[in-house]
A and B are shown apart, each in its own frame.
Chain A
Amino acid sequence: MALSGTSRVRRQLPTSPWLFAAPGLLVISAFVLYPFVSTVVNSFTDRRTLIPGRFVGLANFRELLHDDMFWTGLRNSTLYVLGVVPLLVVLPLLLALLVQKNIPGIAFFRSAFYTPVVASIVVVGLIWVWLLDERGLVNSLLETVGVGRVGFLSDQWLLLLSAMAVTVWKGLGYYMIIYLAALGNVPRELHEAAAVDGAGAVRRFLTVTVPAVRSTMVLVGALSSVAAFKVFSEVYLLAGPSGGPAGEDTTLVMLVQRTGTGLSGRVGYASALSVVVFVVTVALMLLVLRADRKEDA
């Protein structure tokens, strides 16, 4: 009986893993791989929403180079990464250190910091628009203290900074949870030994905590840089569909949406933009990974 049971298991081995994986593979093939391949193929055509395209070679990519809006989008997406990522690497770590301690009522603060993560981005965006409006709460407070009204939603740069603030505020809780998990693995003895050697709180943070969670910081840096480069919702909600004053706050993904959708959408050109976004984002990930490996060496 035992022998026949073993042989049955052996016979099933080559196919059964594939059967287990099949549902997942089907979903990924249909909703990830096929759209990706289709986008790459479309990027070499002049396809439009309702009109099948012809092969145009690299024409879409050549056009990108002469499209002012592409460079505006690339600039804004890059600035977004530079502005948001350092804050999202450092601030959630500090927040995690604050809420790590087991003191009464700390669960409330952990939940409070995490709430923006689960809130709908549209609702969050609208609330921030109300707050930052010329007649909103923030401007009323600034006017009360004598600063005067600030055009958060009408100035190109302030608008981009405001969108970055929303992204950071919304992302804090998510990355805080990742750091909390990492901090749980830092041996308490290391802190105690450092304290015995006379290290203060700041020194212990720099010499014990940071090295212990460095890989997590790299992970957070990679995840947040990808998310920041692909930013859409925050800027769209604050700056409007036209991408802020004169479209100067348009990001690359907003440009993809604007160019490729609608009945007159240029699917081929939008696909070329998507391919560029993909390539740049992969490059960003590799850059972060390379930096991590160099640190290890």
Chain B
Amino acid sequence: MRISRRAFAAAAVAVLLPLSACGSGGEQGGSGDASGKVEGDITFQTWNLRANFKPYFEGLIAEFEKKYPGTDVKWVDQPAEGYADKISADAAGGTLPDVVNVSPDLVAPLAKAGLALDLDKAAPQYRKEYLPGAWDGHRIPGMTGTYAFPWYLNTGPLFYNKTLFRQAGLDPEKPPRTYGELFSAALQLAEKSDGKVATLANVPTIEDFGRYGVPLMNKEGTAFTFDDAKGVELLTEYKKLYDAKALDPQALTATPESSGKKFLTGAVAMNPGSALDLGNFKKQAPSLYKNIGITDQITSTGHVNMYVMGVMVNSQSKRKPAAVAFAHFVTDAAHQMSFAKKVAIFPSTAGSLDDPYFTKEDGTDETRVRVAAAKSLKTAVNYTPVLFSEQMKIALRNEVAKALQGKQSPKEALDNAVKECDRLLKQQG
């Protein structure tokens, strides 16, 4: 059976050409005027919410359509995996929905491309309804304006395995509260378990540098600064943990999901989480749940980290009044409160966190975590800079990994990471 050159060429073309699918660009611009009658058809896109909250969103949409006759909201939900890619494909193809569920890092490139509506101009009357920090959460360094309504916030405690603490001779009722205590407990756990039990499962991220008190960017938002002495100090401590196996050996390739699984199986003694995780522990690891310890996030700044979710209005929407009205409707105090009672999230509207639901405990772990988180949210910070892209996260992660492996010093690693992130920042424009 001889194979001709032509047959090979045909096979090559068929096999190789599909490699070449890449996206295409969009256009800048978009009017900021959102005045006019609230009417018409709009599309609302959420981020992996249909599976668990379908009745809530269907009720919300029906309520909006009843309040504003002549409107019709089409709800689409996208899976968590590849959400940014879906938005970028829609944005590039000119099919971005009118109202989109976003996080601050997703808003930044959309705002720069002129696709996110500036709410300081289009809807300034709503600003006072939200916590000031939350409203500012969707500001972009180097630009004026706010580019999404604040939606729900989240933060969480640090969970720890009391059994593993006890086995290592640590007092399970006195978990570490400072970085110094954390590092010392981690080394003890590794030593007593002969390197079989790590305390942490993930390499330090930009958020960890922020919580440690490292300045992440300059005031103008034009350059990263996390390679200062404080940053080097944190990475040096992590290197000691890695060498002692107090930081899991697979941390260099870990994801939040894999770290969570390691905590569930008792391979790792501590893991950050949220009130949502308690349900998982109960269901998936009942023996762990009986021995679960809950303590506050460790910070050197006094401010815990929070995650901010927002609702953006597409500046190219043909139904801007309806889109703005709906985005506000989804995120107003009443609806955020009712959503918060369905799932362990926290409203970003002013005064909502003073509701007894967030201030009174009933003796269960769930309410204890909820009340503590709500209290800490009042001064919480979203440490991840909005301009910190996925590529930058990978650049930092790879340089940190080289330092942990001893291929370069912590100082060299952070200098390289800052250099690469600055380069990517410049390319973002």
What is the interface of chain A, defined by CB distance below 8 A to chain B?
31-33, 35-36, 38-40, 42, 47-53, 133-135, 151, 153-154, 159, 182, 185, 215-216, 218-219, 222-223, 226-227, 230, 239-247, 253, 256, 258-267, 270-271, 274-275, 277-278, 281-282, 285-286, 289, 292, 296
- In angstroms, Cα B26 to Cα A244, docked, is 33
Whether the pair B25, A50 counts as a contact (CB closer than 8 A) is: yes
Q: A32-B17, A154-B250, A245-B401 are in contact. Are A263 and B84 (CB under 8 A)?
A: yes
Contact A242 B394 (CB under 8 A): yes
In chain B between 265 and 322, which residues have their CB closer than 8 angstroms to a CB of chain A?
A: 265, 267
* C-alpha spacing A241/B390, complex, angstroms: 10
Question: In the complex, what residues of A have CB within 8 A of residue B21's CB?
Answer: 35, 39
Question: In the bound complex, do residue A246 and residue B401 qualify as a contact, i.e. CB atoms below 8 Å apart?
Answer: yes
The 8 A CB mask of B205-249 against A (1 = contact, 0 = none) is: 000000000000000000000000000000000000000000011
Q: What are the 8 A-B residue pairs with the smallest beta carbon separation, nearest first?
A: A39-B20, A50-B113, A246-B401, A52-B25, A245-B252, A263-B109, A247-B398, A264-B389
Please name all residues of chain B whose beta carbon is closer than 8 Å to the beta carbon of A266 when the two chains form the complex.
427
Q: Is B170 an interface residue (CB 8 A)?
A: no
Tell yes or no: B51 within 8 A of A by CB: no
B110 contacts A by Cβ under 8 Å: yes
- Closest partner residue, chain A, to B393 (CB atom): A242
B19 touches A50 (CB 8 A): no
User: Do B92 and A50 have beta carbons less than 8 Å apart?
Assistant: yes
Most buried by B among A48, A159, A240: A48
Known: A51-B25, A215-B2. A264 touches B390 (CB 8 A): yes
Q: Are A263 and B88 in contact (CB under 8 A)?
A: yes
The answer to whether B112 has its CB under 8 Å from any CB of chain A is: yes
Which residues of A have CB within 8 Å of B427?
48, 266
List residues of chain B with CB within 8 A of the CB of A292.
3
Give the interface of B toward A (CB within 8 A). Answer: 1-3, 5, 8, 11-28, 84-85, 87-88, 91-92, 106, 108-110, 112-113, 115, 248-250, 252-255, 258, 265, 267, 389-391, 394, 397-399, 401-402, 405, 407, 424, 427-429
A245:B391 contact, CB within 8 angstroms: no
The answer to whether A38 and B88 have CB atoms under 8 Å apart is no
Cβ-defined contact, B3 with A218, below 8 A: yes
Q: How many A-B residue pairs have CB under 8 A?
A: 185
Q: Are B429 and A33 in contact (CB under 8 A)?
A: no
Q: Which residues of chain B are within 8 angstroms of A271 by Cβ–Cβ distance?
A: 20, 22
CB atoms of B12 and A226 under 8 A apart: yes
- Chain B residues with Cβ below 8 Å from A259 are 391
Once A50-B26, A135-B265, A246-B252 are accepted as A-B contacts, the answer to whether A219 and B3 lie under 8 Å apart by CB is yes
The answer for the CA separation of A10 and B144 in the assembled complex, in Å, is 71
CA distance A277 to B16 in the complex (A): 9
Tell me whether B398 and A246 are in contact (CB under 8 A).
yes
Q: Are B110 and A50 in contact (CB under 8 A)?
A: yes
CB neighbours (8 Å) of A262 from chain B are 84-85, 88, 389-391
Contact B22 A241 (CB under 8 A): no
| A residues in contact with B25, CB < 8 Å | 47-53, 267
Q: Tell me if A258 and B87 are in contact (CB < 8 A).
A: no
A52 CA to B427 CA, complexed, in Å:
13
> Which residue of the partner chain A has the closest CB to B15?
A226
Which B residue sits closest to A31, measured CB to CB? B18
State A289–B6 Cα separation when bound (angstroms): 11
B20 near A242: Cβ-Cβ < 8 Å: no
Residues of A within 8 A of B2 (CB): 215, 296
Asked if A151 and B11 make an inter-chain contact with CB atoms under 8 angstroms apart, the answer reads no
| Cβ of A15 to closest chain B Cβ, rounded Å | 24
- Contact between B250 and A133, CB atoms less than 8 A apart: yes
Residue of A nearest to B84 (CB): A262
Most-contacted residue by chain B among A36, A50, A256, A292 (CB, 10 A): A50
A60→B136 CA distance, assembly (Å): 37
A223–B11 contact, CB under 8 A? yes
Please determine whether A246 and B17 come into contact, CB atoms closer than 8 angstroms.
no
Is A263 a contact partner of B22 (Cβ separation < 8 A)?
A: no
- Asked if residues A246 and B85 are in contact (CB atoms below 8 Å), the reply is no
